[in-house]
Amino acid sequence: MLLLKDHDVALRLVNVSKVFRREKRRSWRRLWPGNGPSLASAVNALDGVTLEVRRHEIFGILGPNGSGKSTLVRVVSTLLLPDAGRAEVFGFDVVREEKAVKRLINRVSVEAAFFKKLSAVENLMFGARLYGLSGTEARARIVAVLRRLGLEEEAAYQPVENLSRGMQQKVAIARAFLTRPILLLLDEPTTGLDPRSRREVQAFVRELRNEHDATIVLTTHDMHEAEQLCDRVAVIDRGRIVALGTPEALKARVASEGLPEPTLEDVFLALTGRHLTDSHHDQEVIA
Amino acid sequence: MRANQWAHEVRASYAFVERNINLIKRYWGWEVVWLSYTIANSLAITYIGAGMERISGQAVDTQFLVMYLLIGTLVWHFLSVIFDIVSETIAWERWEGTIEYTLMAPISRFTHLVGSTLFSLVYGFAHTVIILLAVVLFFRLDLSGANLGGAALVLLAGSMSFIGLGIVAAVLPLLFPERGAQMTHVVQALLLLVSGVYYPVEVLPAWLQVLSRLSPATYVLEGMRAAILDGASFAHLWGETAPLLLLGGVLVPLGVFVFRQAERFAKRTGRLSRDG
Ligand SMILES: Nc1ncnc2c1ncn2[C@@H]1O[C@H](COP(=O)(O)OP(=O)(O)OP(=O)(O)O)[C@@H](O)[C@H]1O
Ligand SMILES: [Mg+2]
């Protein structure tokens, strides 16, 4: 059906780096006598990230706040250009073959971004048309997916702002699912959801993988979720991958370092723990 | 595959038209407010013409003056609606937080911008016709000698340039999340001043008249007035249409080019996301 350059590796990152710079002082003040060169702060959001996600995997990315998870997802979604390194989706380069990549992917971010006064159906219609679906085709898919998510007909035609946060998040996932991506990027899909909504979203993610041949990359702060849902996880800290493997393998690694029956949370804390004491990783550089 | 790709792009550009129509339906209260304001404003300006004889205490061609001002206010409204809608394409999506989703879709930026543009033309035209109908209730307008076809031609040619300018202005909110939208209004105010919307540009200081010649609105207004007030022929209107086609031919591709560059810049520096 789809022409892919690589059929087995859904996502390949090789040495991907991304630095954000922020001017600290207004540039005109720099000209003022005695002020000297302005200080800019630079953040290494991604620092030589290398990883492979195999087709059909549910791959988790764990990491403390500000560790680079969303940046990684944005680079793969073609929303940020990497400064160095290479990122490929099914063999297509995210920079040079941007459009081919865009056809294969979709992304859901932590905040469900909608036209809030428009209904779920109208928002999904817009999304579907952007991906070239005809009106009839889109409508059929929209009805099916909203029904699958348990959205009642009346709610489907109300402004999205009237829906609960959990429902909005599900509609956001539905929007991504509509375009039948074979790589779906979920940035904290369950953050802020109550336990029931969270389980429903998790079940939907599994269903996407099992029944629709999708590969899923998701970020989360929920260790339990990562353990339950993900085939493999990567732990990222300050833009670097500090561990990668199945949840069991990571636990085994920490167990061998002295903790008896570690949970994934122990793994997380062991690998990123020093973060609690020196969390400031902005580097002062002279611009 | 090619034909398929075309169908895809056409459907995608319709996405913007449909979405904007849906938005209008939801914000219909604002539409009514905005329309009443514009009608009142157009009437107020047109009444300046009607009152001129009394204001100056001298005989003036009131009918001519009324038409002169009316053309100014309607044309300016039409062009600023196009400019507003096209330039707000990005600002609005940034505000709603949907910008990343739209820019992630597998469509060409040209399709994206053309979609917003198509909508602006339809909307601007409908709006202007409604205002005209309202004004007709208050004034007796004599269009017997007017070259309406010629006027339409000039307006259409002028829309191209405004679409181009709108696309360039849309870039500002992409680059400057906070200030961008304010900057587009400054551009618009400048165009209003130099384009001779309510007066001939000859009354402006010489240095401003240089800018007048660069503004597409100047040619649209001169052409529309010649066509409607003097019934100028198509051949005569070519004097205004040619510069408009030239400006449009430069500004639209330039707009798309500038937009693409700005998008790359925003993706390199991380300016697309609100929360970054
Ligand atoms: N658009 C941006 N502009 C400037 N700096 C940014 C931008 N996006 C991210 N950053 C910085 O890059 C670093 C990584 O941010 P990122 O959003 O990728 O982290 P995260 O792991 O997703 O965090 P969280 O768990 O809080 O969502 C942070 O220091 C952040 O401030
Ligand atoms: Mg994040």
Residue-range domain boundaries for chain B = 2-268
Band of residue A259 on the pLDDT scale cut at 50, 70, 90: confident
Taking the C-alpha atoms of residue A71 and residue A49, their distance in angstroms, rounded to an integer, is 11
Q: How high is the pLDDT of residue B227?
A: 96
**Any ligand 1 atom below 6 A from CB of B268:** no
Mean pLDDT for A105-125 is 93
Residue at token pair 């005569």: B236
Chain B, residues 257-276, CB within 8 A of chain A, namely 264, 267-270, 272-273, 275-276
Shortest distance between the Cα of A155 and any Cα of chain B, in A, equals 16
B151 Cβ contact partners less than 8 Å away, ≥ 6 residues apart: B223, B224, B227, B228
User: What ipTM score was computed for the predicted complex, to two decimals?
Assistant: 0.85
**Contact of B113 with B167, CB cutoff 8 Å:** yes
pLDDT above 90: percentage of residues in chain A: 59
Positive or negative torsion for Cα A75, A81, A84, A87 = positive
* Residue A98 pLDDT > 70: yes
Collapsed DSSP state (helix, strand, coil) of residue B147 = coil
- Residue A25's pLDDT is 54
Q: What is the pLDDT of residue A261?
A: 78
Average pLDDT of span B151-168: 91
CA gap A102, A111 in Å, rounded: 20
- Does the pLDDT value for residue A122 go beyond 70? yes
Q: Taking CB atoms and an 8 Å limit, are A111 and B19 in contact across chains? A: no
- In this complex, is the C-beta atom of A157 within 8 Å of any C-beta atom belonging to chain B? no
**Percent of chain B whose pLDDT exceeds 70:** 98
Asked if the model's pLDDT at residue B177 lies above 80, the reply is: no
Instruction: Read off the pLDDT band of A271 (50, 70, 90).
Output: confident
Contact A78 B267 (CB under 8 A): yes
What are all long-range contacts of A132-139, with beta carbons under 8 Å and residues at least 24 apart?
A132/B7, A132/B8, A132/B9, A132/B11, A132/B12, A132/B106, A132/B107, A133/A178, A133/A179, A133/B11, A134/B11, A138/A178
| Sheet architecture: strand order including A105-108 | A105-108, A183-187, A215-220, A58-62, A232-237, A240-245
Tens of pLDDT along A6-51?
Answer: 889 999 999 999 999 876 655 566 666 666 555 678 899 999 999 9
Q: What distance in Å separates the CA atoms of residue A89 and residue B106, rounded to the nearest whole number?
A: 14
A65 confidence band (pLDDT: 50, 70, 90): very high
pLDDT, residue A102, reads: 96
Structure-token pair, residue A67: 């560790």
A116 contact residues in B (CB cutoff 8 A): 96
- State the average pLDDT over residues B148-155: 93
Average pLDDT value over all residues in chain A: 87
Q: Is the CB of residue A10 less than 8 Å from the CB of residue A69?
A: no
Q: What is the pLDDT of residues B195-224, one digit of tens each?
A: 999 999 999 999 999 999 999 999 999 999
- The reported pLDDT for the residue numbered B274 is 56
A132 to chain B, any CB pair closer than 8 A? The answer is yes
Q: What angle do CA B31, B27, B29 make, to 5 degrees?
A: 50
- Token couple for B43: 């009437």
Record: contact B7-A116, CB cut-off 8 A? no
- A82 Cα to the center of ligand 2, angstroms: 17
Residues A55-67 have a mean pLDDT of 95
Give percent above pLDDT 90 in chain B. Answer: 67
pLDDT given for residue A284 in this prediction: 38
How far apart CA A162 and CA A119 sit, in angstroms, is: 9
User: Can you give the pLDDT at residue B276?
Assistant: 39
Q: Is the CB of A233 under 6 A from ligand 1?
A: no
Q: Which long-range contacts (CB under 8 A, 24 or more apart) does B249-252 make?
A: B249/B160, B250/B164, B251/B160, B251/B161, B251/B163, B251/B164, B251/B165, B251/B167, B251/B168, B251/B216, B252/B160, B252/B161, B252/B163, B252/B164, B252/B167
> What span, in angstroms and rounded, lies between the C-alpha atoms of A172 and A190?
11
Are A68 and A239 in contact by the 8 Å Cβ rule? The answer is yes
Calculate Rg over the CA atoms of chain A: 21
Instruction: Decide if pLDDT at A93 tops 90.
Output: yes
